Chain A
């Protein structure tokens, strides 16, 4: 357990700088948006203000998962941690990062909502995937799930890249593209994705989304685990 704690401490120290820079930019953009809105209001603009920052949060999570895996696996092996402990620690890191990102995202959304309401704007928070989601908890939870899925997907890509190299990754990409040319495959894939999204719609959609995200998380780690177990330090 101590090793996992040390592992998380390492991730904290490693990600701290990029994390602070990212959120500083996000809050600066938000403040700039408010200043621009005030300017437009002074010029008579009274319409709807729409904000969206979830895409940036998801992208940060994804990039963070990918970069951190490649950077910290050799480092941790050098520090004498087992690959099994590394994967366990990395999964916890994925979850914690997604959760913290979602909480800050929610705080940013609340701040924006308060500011625009105070300024008398008709405020819309664009970027939520399901119109039924209105509460703070649901907003945070769905942001968490989406960020987690993106993070774990890119962790999977990073693990394939680390183990097999860039060419193998390109090969997989090319194979997927080729498969898409087979008649019916594209329709089947998009049909499946559509039914997945539709099953998540509605007031209780986030429960389905939680189950799907959990399944996706476990599936990705089922692939990441054997890849990491056989990964070696690069020459």
Chain B
């Protein structure tokens, strides 16, 4: 099977700092991926390597089966939008879109024009004179209108208000339904995007901590609350992310498969079960106190 993006044993160091350590990932065609991780987890470094802007110290990357390094054919499949824009400062919005349209083969001019109107972006302004939110809007327009087979958004909406972000999600989904492609969304705003993501990759300290289908992941993450002894009885052998006690009551977050029979048994024991939102799971996994990484790594 040819993957849209294949990373084999990627490692990258900056001096004594390990940015990425033995990353192995396969991203399928026409899927929406969420690349999640805390600041400094290695997300941007990984995306820079995938797009051949940075070289790995070890390992190899393939884009639709080809190495992207100095390979125009492979690179033509990618559009990356970064948080710091990467636009030329003295070029106007019209100019930036004009340049982008000449680089991306599938450029959708109508979509770009529609988004310009919807975001109410002043076409004559130079990039230098745009506000932070407007710069993000321009990046989003380029990313969406590029229709690149692999479209990467690396923290695309710094400074963008809630309405602007919602518009981005709406257009992203609408356009994805009509023109499926591989979309990689690297973000901190996990709750907002959790419903968009088909697959989730969580990076922590340069390593893949968790990778899989977002629904499967959500279906394995539960809070269980109840009396201490009953909770302990049911979580025995399960992967526990967090445990809090209040007198005789205990609340635990677990990340493990729970069968229907187990759920019924818990309910019979008066235990409250609720699912953990993806953002909270992310916090447990990347910053929680009770993580046993060996248990979590899928």
Contacts and interface: CB of A to CB of B under 8 A. Distances in A.
Given A78-B86, A80-B51, A9 B102 contact: yes
Contacts, number: 70
B55 A232 contact: yes
Interface SS, A side: helix
A13 B99 contact: yes
B191 interface: no
A78 B82 contact: yes
B88 A6 contact: no
B90 A14 contact: yes
A72 B88 contact: yes
Given A6-B99, A13-B99, A82 B72 contact: yes
A10 to B, nearest CB: 5
A83 B72 CA distance: 10
Contacts of A232: 48, 53-55
Nearest to A71: B88
A77 interface: yes
Given A80-B76, A84-B70, A235-B14, A13 B88 contact: yes
Contact of B99 (A9, A229, A230): A9
A2 to B, nearest CB: 8
A43 interface: no
Given A5-B102, A75-B88, A79-B103, A13 B54 contact: no
Contact of B86 (A6, A17, A75, A84): A75
A82 B86 CA distance: 16
Given A232-B55, A235-B14, A80 B78 contact: yes
A3 B98 contact: no
A83 B69 CA distance: 9
Interface string B89-101: 1110001001110
Contacts of A230: 55
Contacts of A176: none
Most interface-central of A2, A13, A80 (chain B CB within 10 A): A80
Contact of B102 (A6, A74, A84): A6
A233 interface: yes
Contacts of A46: none
B88 A74 contact: no
Nearest to B142: A79
Given A13-B88, A14-B90, A80 B55 contact: no
Contacts of B75: 80-82
Given A3-B72, A75-B86, A79-B103, A14 B79 contact: no
A6 to B, nearest CB: 4
A9 B70 contact: no
A122 interface: no
Given A78-B53, A81-B72, A82-B72, 14 more contacts: A3-B72, A10-B88, A13-B91, A13-B98, A77-B52, A78-B51, A78-B82, A80-B72, A80-B78, A84-B70, A232-B55, A233-B48, A235-B14, A235-B45
Interface of B: 14, 45, 48, 51-55, 70-72, 75-76, 78-80, 82, 86-91, 95, 98-100, 102-103
17 contacts: A2-B102, A9-B99, A13-B91, A13-B98, A72-B88, A75-B88, A77-B51, A77-B53, A78-B53, A78-B82, A80-B78, A80-B80, A80-B103, A82-B72, A232-B54, A233-B48, A235-B45
